[in-house]
Amino acid sequence: MKAKYIILSLIASLAVLVGCEKELPHYLSEVTVSSSFVSIPLGGGSTPITLDAASAWEITDIPAWLTVSPTSGGAGQSTVTFSAASVLDGRTTEIHLNCGGKVQNINVIQGVSVVSEVSCAEVLAGPESKTYRVTGVCTAIANTTYGNWYLNDGTGEVYIYGTLDSKGATQNFLSWGLEVGDEITVEGPKTVYNGTVELVDVTVLKINKSLIKVDEITPEDAVLPIEGGLFTVKLANKGQGVYVEIPEDAESWLSIASVAGDVVTFRAQPNAGGDRETVITFKTTDGKKEYSCQQALSQIGSIVEVSAAEFNAQPDGNAQFRVVGVVTDIVMDKENPDKYNKYGNFYLNDDTGRVYVYGLLPEAGGATGQDVLTKKGIQYGYLLTVVGPKGSYKGNPQMVNGYYVEHTPVQRLSCADFNALEDGSDLYIINGTVRDIVMDKDDPTKYNKYSNFYIEDASGRVYVYGMVPTLSRASGQSLLTKLGIKEGDFIEVVGPKSSYKGNPQMVNAIYVRHTPAID
């Protein structure tokens, strides 16, 4: 009887296995799907399934690489198509079909995932869309919700954009307890965004906690005053000794004052420039591996007044710069082109170049999107002073969320209308063709160093008696020569109305922009 029972059980098991070869409809009382498993070729393509719903339905948690159409519908039968572009390595995801308060899971797989275990340098040099496994040390954490951080293995550094938790969910990065200095093995696909190599929504395979971490700092906010002072770091260290690494660009103002066991004290010099910051690295070893942790430190500085060219040449950071220029090229609202963009995006021009201001705050620490240009009545040609940090976007310099300081209204006039004005200190903007540049008395082959010339438009001409740099307003700077302006060029300047022996003129004009004449 026992042998017969075993044989019958084996036959029953084979029947079950044979039955599993065919995909059966998946039932919930609220919705039925023809398949809860969707396969898409590695080379890209589309796969449809059929669903029959008792009420309205919606598909959620769709990753960026997968297109689902439609994503919602009503009661009855619908065909839903799953599509994906070609990819180098396989990928999988689980999406959710919501109907009548119930959820049907649908698993989507594209190809077969083949993971390459590589170094950071190989990730940086490798193709996009390929899945990599890499081990390195967390050097900085940028976002603690999604889990954006930097991984470095000594051969290079890769930006991790999104970290899945142990169940594969997003926005739960803190569940890992990951700290700077920990050694982590992750796996994920490579992409490149704005020139930055990223591994996206990585899976954490292993965490080797660092033997060293920062336990306590003084001052607690890690911000030193402009006068300088001491900064103390107390370490929790289970390794053999401590090695301190101060970045080369901070060695001129930051040094080690003392080391007492696992307590390191630093001394910062007085700061005569703008805000500055650095990241100090602490290292230890267990005799086989090296472990590290980091601590950021910043020091308050002065607001540095710079020209447009000087601002654009600054490194990105938190240092504050004061820029004065003429407002040009204000970005308008996409939905209403007659209104300014509410964030305040525009250019500030001076004689050295132009600064793109990406966002204008009403004051230091103010909120974004306050439509400051409109509320202050600022228009094209106005002189404006802003303060803010240097940033970049796709390699292009910009001031990010600078704040308003002051502005000077400027009225646009024709040459004839300008000449008819009473003398005064108010500023006006005029433009036209460069005519009759005054040459140097001692060397008639060179322009006069004060840059005297005429601007001509359809209404007449204005004598410009001197053109000066926007920032210093110092005369005799040979701006026409420095800017390469010549007879016949189009030019735009700002300045006050004055007179000399009854003849109207603009004195010490501020350069706005010019366009070379077409030969």
Confirm if 128 and 158 have CB atoms less than 8 A apart. Answer: no
Nearest-angstrom CA–CA distance, 111 and 129? 13
Q: Extract the tokens encoding 309.
A: 């060219």
pLDDT higher than threshold 50 for residue 13: no
Nearest-angstrom CA–CA distance, 45 and 25? 23
- How many Cβ atoms from other residues are within 10 Å of residue 14's Cβ? 10
pLDDT higher than threshold 60 for residue 379: yes
Nearest-angstrom CA–CA distance, 213 and 209? 10
pLDDT higher than threshold 80 for residue 227: yes
Confirm if 289 and 245 have CB atoms less than 8 A apart. Answer: no
pLDDT in tens, 447-472: 999 999 999 999 999 999 999 999 88
Residue holding tokens 């839903």? 80
Q: Give me the percent of the chain exceeding a pLDDT of 90.
A: 75
> What residues form DSSP beta bridges with 73?
57
| Local structure of residue 263 (DSSP, 8 states) | E
pLDDT higher than threshold 60 for residue 7: no
φ, ψ dihedrals at 255, nearest 5°: -145, 165
Q: Residues 137, 142, 146, 148: is their CA dihedral positive or negative?
A: negative
Which has the closest alpha carbon to 418: 461, 465, 466?
461
So what's the pLDDT on residue 26?
A: 57
Which has the closest alpha carbon to 211: 232, 185, 241, 186?
241
Report field, pTM of the whole predicted structure over 0.85 = no
Q: Extract the tokens encoding 517.
A: 């004449």
So what's the pLDDT on residue 423?
A: 96
At residue 6 the predicted structure's pLDDT band, cuts being 50, 70 and 90, is very low
State the average pLDDT over residues 359-378. Answer: 94
- Buried-exposed string 363-391: b where 16+ CB fall within 10 A, e elsewhere: eeeeeeebbbbeebebbebbbbbbbbbbb
pLDDT higher than threshold 50 for residue 437: yes
3-state SS, one letter per residue, for 274-287: CCEEEEEEEEEECC
Question: What domains appear along the chain, each with residue ranges and CATH number?
Answer: 27-110 (2.60.40.10), 116-208 (2.40.50.200), 212-299 (2.60.40), 304-408 (2.40.50.140), 411-515 (2.40.50.140)
So what's the pLDDT on residue 514?
A: 95
Q: Extract the tokens encoding 198.
A: 């990223």
| Local structure of residue 517 (DSSP, 8 states) | P
- Tell me the residue ranges of DSSP E strands in 314-380: 321-328, 345-350, 353-361
- How many Cβ atoms from other residues are within 10 Å of residue 144's Cβ? 12
Q: Which residues contact 21 (CB under 8 A, 6 or more apart)?
A: none
Q: Extract the tokens encoding 510.
A: 């501020």
At residue 91 the predicted structure's pLDDT band, cuts being 50, 70 and 90, is confident
| Local structure of residue 443 (DSSP, 8 states) | -
Confirm if 406 and 376 have CB atoms less than 8 A apart. Answer: no
pLDDT in tens, 256-271: 999 999 999 999 999 9
Q: Between residues 101 and 421, which one has the greater pLDDT? A: 421
Angle at 146 between CA 145 and CA 149, to 5 degrees: 100
Q: Give me the percent of the chain exceeding a pLDDT of 70.
A: 94
* Type of residue numbered 75: A
pLDDT in tens, 294-335: 899 999 998 999 999 999 999 998 889 999 999 999 999 999
φ, ψ dihedrals at 437, nearest 5°: -65, 135
At residue 140 the predicted structure's pLDDT band, cuts being 50, 70 and 90, is confident
Chain mean pLDDT for the chain: 90
